[in-house]
Amino acid sequence: MMKKIFFTIAILSSLVVFSCENESGGVFTGSPAIYFSDFSDKTDSVTYSFIGKNKEFDTVFLNVRLLGYKLESPKKLRVRIVEEKTTAVAGQHYEALHQEYDFIPNTFDYKLPVVLKKHSDLNNSTFVLAVQLVESDDFKIAFADKANARIKFSNIIMKPGIWDATLAPVFGVYSKTKHQICMDIMGRPFPETLLEFNLERNAWRNFGWICNAYF
């Protein structure tokens, strides 16, 4: 009787795992695989504005996560620019990406650096840079719907991509007027990514209280 119970539990567990992988569109087969942890086909954008920043260049980091065991030696991850979804020009609006980057051992995350440039074009328009993870000899693509990310950037006021999910509970409903006034009060721009917000979570909450009290 006990053997039958254990056998039934094992079968059910296998079905749950198989179901979860299918729902995620996973193709992980045991080899090291990677994906964008913060993006999917439904949420594949990060916004960036040079407004409020005294910088001519800045770096946006896209978090690439490892699915599998930690690496024992560096491995190469590959990326490409998705030209048909990109309006930004390499060398003019951003520094050209390398074809390959080293994913270092003993970690599950790699911060893919994308260097943006404060070109005068950004004063009037928003540009898009679309990046895709590509399968290589070292890595498979873990989830087909988490292989793409887009950076929307400009030098005009833009609603941060994390506003609705992360900033709205702190700062309330978005408007460009509120955006500008809050930056004046805080003396700094809003965080562009969830990582930036989490690094100073308490500070942003305090800023939220101060700004809400003003409004």
How crowded is the C-beta side of 118, counted as CA atoms within 13 Å? 13
At 63, the amino acid letter reads: N
Q: From 1.10.3720.10, 3.30.1300.10, 2.60.40.2030, 3.40.50.300, which CATH number describes the 25-157 domain? A: 2.60.40.2030
Domain with CATH 2.60.40.2030 in the chain: 25-157
E strand spans, the chain: 33-36, 45-49, 57-67, 75-81, 100-103, 109-117, 127-134, 140-141, 148-154
Q: What is the pLDDT along the chain (215 residues), one digit of tens a residue?
A: 554 444 444 444 444 444 444 444 454 457 899 999 988 777 778 899 999 888 999 999 999 999 989 999 999 999 999 999 999 999 999 999 999 999 999 999 999 999 999 999 999 999 999 999 999 999 999 999 999 999 999 999 999 989 999 999 999 999 999 999 999 999 999 998 888 899 999 999 999 999 999 99
DSSP per residue, 189-208? PPPSSHHHHHHTHHHHHHHH
Q: What pLDDT score does 178 carry?
A: 96
Residue-level pLDDT at 15: 44
Q: Look at residue 194 in the predicted model and tell me its pLDDT.
A: 84
Phi, psi of 196 (to 5 degrees): -60, -45
Token pair listed for 10: 């094992």
The token pair that represents 203 in the structure block: 């500070």
Task: Determine the pLDDT at residue 196.
Answer: 87
pTM: 0.76
